[in-house]
Structure 1
Amino acid sequence: MRTVSDMLAFAVTDGMLHFELTATYEIFTAPQLDYRVVVCGNAPVRVGRFTLEPDLPLDQLKRAETVIVPALADVDDPIDLELVQAVREAHEEGARIVSLCTGAFVLAEAGLLDGLRATTHWAHTDVLAERYPRVEVDPDVLYIDNGQVMTSAGKAAAIDLSLHLIRSDHGSATANTAARRLVVPPHRDGGQAQFVLAPVPSGEGHPLAELFDWVSARFDQTITVEDLARQANVSSRHLARLFKAVTGTTPLQWLHTQRIRRAQELLEMTDDSVDQIAEASGMGTATTLRRHFHRTVGVPPDTYRRTFRPVGGR
């Protein structure tokens, strides 16, 4: 457990997203917690569409026990070097450094993720890995706790990591109380997948649009690569090239992903049994669905349904 004098500081600069900042700020300022929450920045900053007046300058981050770096709105914008230096100095003073979503780019720029596993929003993991090759980027988890350094994926994962911090500092009962107040699951393990799979490219602006529509109406049927090539009126080799260009993956992997996505939708939206969903998504049997679903999503179908299905069903 950490002490009542602990200072938890949000490190802010222009161009941060307001959701991750305001949502987690509200979490950590809950009355049942004893964090001394402050916002550190060197000047009034633009956060989303709002202007925020920091409590303390960035050089005061080194006094904090925990430093939280919210998400950057645009990872292609130059990173504030004063922010990077202040976060690095806080780390050197022993602070626990936490990034939310694309805030991981600040930690990587400071060198705090070198040689460590880290994550960020799935849409930016490739950029993070390319820009910082010494970081072991894992795109398939909600958050990663390396002890003194922690990173999280997208918006909901920022809440998950916040609850994980509260659980580490104050115990499960306090974390569960915070989760009930937020009306969110009290615990989602950081190692489970981000629940975001390769989407079907929308619109008619690519050569596989009609094929994707054809597949979407036949998930309950056996479909081979030859079936796909025949429907697209191309050779199997050319089909593979098209899929790589449009989806970044192979026809079979894309089809597998779409079947899992269909199973996710049915788990969320229907009362169908796992056997029925396995048949409707083309997985055949419940055993096959459970094996592939757990491997791809990170949790069993029943756990996924409990997490994402509203109380009382739809």
Structure 2
Amino acid sequence: MVAAQGAMVAAAMNSIYQSSGKAGLALGGVGLAAIGAVGALGSLGTVGLSEVKKVETATNILKANGAPNIEAFQGQLEDLKESLGGVGDSFTKGDFGLATADIVKAGVESADALTLMTSSTKLAAAEQINLTEASGLLLKNLRQYDYEVGDAARVGDMLAMAGNAAAGTAYDLSVGLGIVGGTGKQAKLEMYDLLGMLVELDNKGMSAADVGANGLRAALSALSDITKKGQVTLGDLTIAMVDAEGKARPAGDILKDLGEKMRGMGVYVNKTTGELDGNGEAMQTVSSLMDNRAAAAVINLTGDWEKWSQQIKDSGGYLDEYANTMQEGVEPALKA
């Protein structure tokens, strides 16, 4: 059985060698050493075959998307993995190949894909999550704010700092940003302010990856398209949507004012049920502006987010520190 597994790995590797050249073989991360290990330790047969499949799939994706000079690109990818040290060792060469091919498939140039992978690998290693998923989320976060791939390190720093400040993780913040990012940008909120809001909601029991992000998105959407009835309600609450010069007030300021008014009316989030509670008149006032999940987010935004957003804004270089700290004592992935 073990010998058969070794033969299968060797055959698969030969297939990749024939179709992708020596660089394809190198990217697989299995090589003759891994094939020999299969003979000595049968459990590596499955791992080796999985690696071969990853490499083959990544190579096919790159070819299908017209990536130029695949052999040279694969060499650059291997250099990147090595340059990341212990963080790079968290993933196999097959993991790197699949994640990068997925980024190229999403329309990113090969060279830019390597830039993004530098930051997404650090996030994935620190959070111990799938590298392809982490890379895709980071790309989505960048695109929501019309950022360039060159901004990946900056966004990675902000996500790492936000994850450190929140009850949840940087992964949760990236998922949440994926939910509310587009709406936040339309509301002219800076990314660090939006992340600060998600941190505050997460710390108050509204998960940044789910309830908090969806509630915040609903609140921002409601405020961007106020009904006539809602406009009357805001007037009654003395909340201005524009400043003295007739310019739209920052969304963060409006949310802060509205939350203060709601809490002053005795509207609150029941911590047991998670539902909105309060007297009938106050609840009617709230419902004229937005639904309950949106109101729950607004009520929980008491202004703490401003402190977190400043820390997130000043987070330059934090991702490196975060990734290296989280990697201490972690076993490396299969290496060639």
Give the TM-score of the pair, scaled to structure 2.
0.26
Whichever of the two has the greater Rg, that structure is 2
Greater percentage in helix: 2
